[in-house]
Amino acid sequence: MKYTDEQRIKKIYEYAVSLWDYVSNNVDRSTLLTDIHMQWLVTTPLYNIGEQVYYLSDGFKKEHDSIDWIPIAGLRHRLVHDYDGTNWEIISDVVYEEIPKLIEEVRKLM
């Protein structure tokens, strides 16, 4: 199924909010750095966010260039294709620092 940019933005928002709601209430950084189950838990929403970003139209991404779309999509590719090489310090920064910012930016687009 081909989604519209608006549908993709809604999905990005929902994935990001769900991820943030869970980790902010249940997981601290040190756990994320060491617990493989928590790592698995956060990677799925990150994959999904990256996949939706990847398929946003170029026009949409150019029109809304306040969000740096390339690293978001790139993170998905990195997690999928180099999972064993994942730097969990970086992922914890993404989860705890960048996801809340992304939520706010994407909310403005909805």
Q: How many domains does the chain have?
A: 1
Provide CB contacts within 8 A for 50, sequence distance 6+: 72, 73, 74, 75, 76, 77, 79
Q: Using an 8 Å Cβ cutoff, are 32 and 88 in contact? A: yes
Q: What is the pTM of this model?
A: 0.91
Structural domain of 95? 5-109
pLDDT in tens, the chain (110 residues): 689 999 999 999 999 999 999 999 999 999 999 999 999 999 999 999 999 999 999 999 999 999 999 999 999 988 888 767 889 999 999 999 999 999 999 999 99
Q: Using an 8 Å Cβ cutoff, are 102 and 16 in contact? A: yes
Active site residues: 76, 81
